[in-house]
Chain A
Amino acid sequence: QQKVQQSPESLSVPEGGMASLNCTSSDRNFQYFWWYRQHSGEGPKALMSIFSDGDKKEGRFTAHLNKASLHVSLHIRDSQPSDSALYFCAASEANTGKLTFGDGTVLTVKP
């Protein structure tokens, strides 16, 4: 079983709309969670990290973590065509920099 599972596989939202991405871990050793974004032809880039229960907001992006259920989500408000990309959820255990990635969600924002 994959340790980090993402849903949906793909998502299409209109420009200006809200995109919601989900991620669940099956490994209770994971303590830290990240969201990464990858545009075509580039390497993944970190969007934000979340380590504590609750919400974390950075601009149009809000991450939510529930450690009890090992569920993390990413919400993008006022989505822009430039947000169209592959989004990864990643997790790591304490005291290691090694990240385990989910399979990703393809987000398409239609003008």
Chain B
Amino acid sequence: DAGVTQTPRHEVAEKGQTIILKCEPVSGHNDLFWYRQTKIQGLELLSYFRSKSLMEDGGAFKDRFKAEMLNSSFSTLKIQPTEPKDSAVYLCASSLGGAETLYFGSGTRLTVL
């Protein structure tokens, strides 16, 4: 079975640009998560979808970050406009739901200049 697929693996953006990160969850999974990982803050939850419905969209990230699930097999995370402090690894993860195991993609490393 295919795991969680994230594209691109690396993204370089200028300050003020709009970038869109993509994620394909494991087929059949109901829950989808976007996390941001930095050395200082660790793993922070950005968004949480259950059966395509937005359950949580981490308060501090609301203003410039928007995650969407266009269908059960594809999600995007838009950052608009980007700022240098957004430089991080963005991880997408999916699970069957409830207390089931979370499967992560390899992440997108974003660098904002």
Contact = CB atoms under 8 A, between A and B. Distances in A.
B75 interface: no
Nearest to A94: B99
Contact of B43 (A34, A88, A92, A96): A88
B98 A99 contact: no
Among A96, A100, A102, find the residue whose CB has the most chain B CB atoms closer than 10 A: A96
A97 B104 contact: no
A82 B57 CA distance: 36
Contact of B99 (A41, A97, A102): A97
Contact of A43 (B31, B91, B95, B99): B91
Interface residues of A, number: 26
A32 B42 CA distance: 20
Contacts of A90: 102
Interface string B88-99: 000101010111
Interface in B94-111: 95, 97-107
Nearest to A95: B98
A46 B98 CA distance: 15
B45 A98 contact: yes
A51 interface: yes
A30 B50 CA distance: 19
Interface of B: 4, 31, 33, 35, 42-43, 45, 48, 50, 55-56, 91, 93, 95, 97-107
Interface of A: 31-32, 34, 36, 41-46, 49, 51, 88, 90, 92, 94-104
